[in-house]
Amino acid sequence: GTCMEYTNSSESMLPIDPAPAPLDKFVWTISSSYCNRESNLASAAYWMQFINIVIFFAFLVRIRQFQVQTAKDVDQSKITTSDYSVLIQGLERNMPADDYVDDQGERRSGMVSRVRADIMKALVEMDPKYTKERVAKEVVDIEIGRVCSKEVQQLRRLKALKVKEQELTTKVDDCKAKGKDELCEKRRKELEAVCDAKEKVMHELDRLREEEPDKTTGHAFVVFLYESTRNQFQSYHMPSPGRRTLDNLFPEMIYEPILKLCGCCCQPSQRNQWESAGRGGVVKVLDAPEPDDVIWENLEIPTSWEQWRGLLTFIITLILLVIALFLIVLLKWGQSTITATSVAATEGINLSSEA
């Protein structure tokens, strides 16, 4: 090895030949520059590990930029419903989605009407040529995010029961054709139980639709007649340059909680005051996702909760990387300490043997 050299205690230089007892064929060269405990190689290894961690984080940032650019390229390569739509976030939560009558018998505007009024006000501020008739024509549809987890759960149960009903119906018909009366009776009872369960699910669905008013989740999908109108409306609510840079580098769930804590000025642009805005008064107008990518029941999850969970995941990942770096440095330090101790002990033995 580089930290050992041959002695003159043996005539043979082959490593496999034994040395005359009690001497060793090799001795430690602790004073050599390579094996010197004062060498900078250990500290260089530590710094290389640190540089590896920095490169890894830079790689994550680069991956984020690549994802954003790829999403834009894919979106521009095909025409879908999302090209004519925007997603509005930051609206008031847990309020009636549709117009309703209050306890005093007065008719109140729901979230759909309030969002439509805010969009009209924004379009008029953008271009005074917009009239009520033109807005009604160019704003094709407004779909409000609604609290629907209970309905979705019942719909999934209904889907499973319908599949089960079709299977049992086929089995009953098959039993009748083969003349298996006992098996037919068993299948028929199972079919009746499934039909009863399906009726209960449909009754629960009707109750949820009629008795419980739809509550909002703070989201709205707006579909425009022309893509140019959609682009103009979205550009009018474009976030600040600093925030756009952050969007290209990091997911919103990572930097948004930090901005809120620090009170940073990189906030979304808010040129007009939306009456339908929720707590905080800031409404974001974003690119609408593809219709198949929308999971409606997940819209009930508060955006702040998603952001804090994302930040927590990022912090835990960072802590694990720091711990891994610390363990590597600690192990290398322990290895060098043990090696130095062994070298000193072996050198002492060699000196005593030669003496």
pLDDT number for residue 161: 92
pLDDT number for residue 31: 59
Higher pLDDT, 91 or 314: 91
Q: Which residues of 288-322 are buried (b: 16+ CB within 10 A; e: fewer)?
A: beeeeebebbebbeebeeebeebbeebeeeeeeee
Under 8 Å between Cβ of 84 and 290: no
Coil, strand or helix: which one is 126?
helix
pLDDT number for residue 2: 56
- Can you read off the two tokens belonging to residue 149? 């987890």
pLDDT number for residue 86: 93
User: pLDDT tens digits, residue range 16-36?
Assistant: 666 555 556 666 665 566 565
User: pLDDT tens digits, residue range 54-69?
Assistant: 888 888 888 878 887 8
Q: Which residues contact 39 (CB under 8 A, 6 or more apart)?
A: 33
pLDDT number for residue 283: 82
Give the mean pLDDT of 73-102: 85
Peptide bond into 302 cis (omega under 30): no
pLDDT category, 179, cuts 50, 70, 90?
Answer: confident
Higher pLDDT, 87 or 176: 87
Mean pLDDT, the chain, integer: 77
pLDDT number for residue 163: 92
Interatomic CA distance for residues 272 and 282, integer angstroms: 10
User: pLDDT tens digits, residue range 105-128?
Assistant: 888 888 888 999 888 888 888 888
User: pLDDT tens digits, residue range 274-307?
Assistant: 777 766 567 888 888 888 888 888 888 887 787 7
Find tokens 């834009």 and name the residue.
72
Asked which of 35-44, 76-85, 234-243, 346-355 is least confident by mean pLDDT, the reply is 346-355
- Is the pLDDT at 339 greater than 70? The verdict is no
Q: Amino acid letter at 154?
A: Q
- Can you read off the two tokens belonging to residue 30? 């602790």
Residue 180 is given by DSSP the state -
Of 132-136, 155-159, 349-353, the range with the highest mean pLDDT is: 155-159
β-pairing, 216-224 with 139-146? Answer: antiparallel
- Can you read off the two tokens belonging to residue 253? 């769930």
Find tokens 């209970």 and name the residue.
150
User: pLDDT tens digits, residue range 199-231?
Assistant: 999 999 888 877 767 888 889 999 999 988 998
Under 8 Å between Cβ of 92 and 218: yes
- Is the pLDDT at 13 greater than 60? The verdict is no
pLDDT number for residue 151: 87
pLDDT number for residue 70: 86
Task: Please spell the DSSP secondary structure of 15-44, one letter per residue.
Answer: TTSPPPTTS-SEEE-TTSTTT-TT-SHHHH
